[in-house]
Amino acid sequence: MNLLITVTEWLAQPQQWTGPAGIPARFLEHVGYSGLALLIAAAIAVPIGLLTGHTGRGGFLAASVANVARALPTIGVLMLVVLAVGIGLAPVMVALVALAVPPILVNTHEGVRGVDPQLRDAAQGMGMRGHEVLFRLELPVALPLILLGLRTAAIQVVSTATIAAYVGIGGLGRFIVDGQARRQFEMVAGGSLLVVLLAVLVAVLFYLLRRLLVAPGLRQRTPAGR
């Protein structure tokens, strides 16, 4: 109860909401790093997943690479890249992209491969070519799983982007790292709470995207809570 009161008091301080080190500025930095990492990961993983899922080739290799990437400790990847290229945004992006690629890649591949073969045969019987089958049939049917992979990756990235503070970059992780250094535990708890709230907002955003983009008949294919 005392911790809740101290966190509330910390959040209520006017100086926490102004300036380059205030909550709004750190929030935007965190969203920026997370969004950029998710965009890069999606640009890598979605095309590969669509290709391997559609052709049926390379799926095992893609899944194996994704599983290896999943096993990599994010903070370890960050430190290795820092040693290689120095402190900056690049190490953070490498670590976060490596974290985000596996769920997007696997879900995209599985979503396309899981399309009913009879639907493919019907589409080809209507005269659709390979790319038309992919974009007009397989992609819409696989969209629930693709969005699930993107949502999983986004929540993981938002939750892990606090590592940016360890290499001198901003974001909500600054409250956690600086609070630990100053032994101001209300700052640590406040920063952690803000990260949790941002993750919840991301989950809500993807729920709304699912409602907007996925046809009603396909929503039951992957439950929203998964």
Q: How confident is the model at residue 25 (pLDDT cuts 50, 70, 90)?
A: very high
Q: What confidence score (pLDDT) does residue 32 get?
A: 94
Q: What confidence score (pLDDT) does residue 1 get?
A: 60
- In this prediction the pTM is 0.88
Q: Please provide the average confidence, as pLDDT, over all residues in the chain.
A: 87
pLDDT single digits (tens) 37-57 = 999 999 999 999 999 988 888
Q: What confidence score (pLDDT) does residue 219 get?
A: 62
More confident residue, 31 or 120: 31
In the predicted structure, residue 13 carries a pLDDT above the cut 80: yes
Q: What confidence score (pLDDT) does residue 45 get?
A: 94
Distance, CA of 198 to CA of 158 (rounded, Å): 7
More confident residue, 134 or 70: 134
Instruction: Please compute the mean of the pLDDT values over residues 11-39 and round it to a whole number.
Output: 92
Q: What confidence score (pLDDT) does residue 222 get?
A: 57
Distance, CA of 166 to CA of 36 (rounded, Å): 18
Q: How confident is the model at residue 193 (pLDDT cuts 50, 70, 90)?
A: very high
In the predicted structure, residue 17 carries a pLDDT above the cut 80: yes
Q: What confidence score (pLDDT) does residue 167 get?
A: 82
The token duo for 27 is: 């929030």
pLDDT single digits (tens) 52-83 = 988 888 878 887 888 787 777 887 888 888 87
Taking a C-beta distance cutoff of 8 angstroms, is the pair 95, 78 a contact? Answer: yes
Taking a C-beta distance cutoff of 8 angstroms, is the pair 17, 24 a contact? Answer: yes
State the residue for tokens 């070519």: 129
- Closest among 1, 2, 16, 14 to 187, alpha carbons compared: 16
Q: What confidence score (pLDDT) does residue 205 get?
A: 96
Q: 24 vs 27, 80, 163, 192, 196, CA distance in Å?
A: 5, 31, 19, 15, 15
Q: What confidence score (pLDDT) does residue 35 get?
A: 96
More confident residue, 11 or 226: 11
Q: Is 114 exposed, middle or buried (0-12, 13-18, 19+ CB in 10 A)?
A: middle
Sign of the dihedral defined by the CA atoms of residues 162, 168, 171, 175, in that order: positive
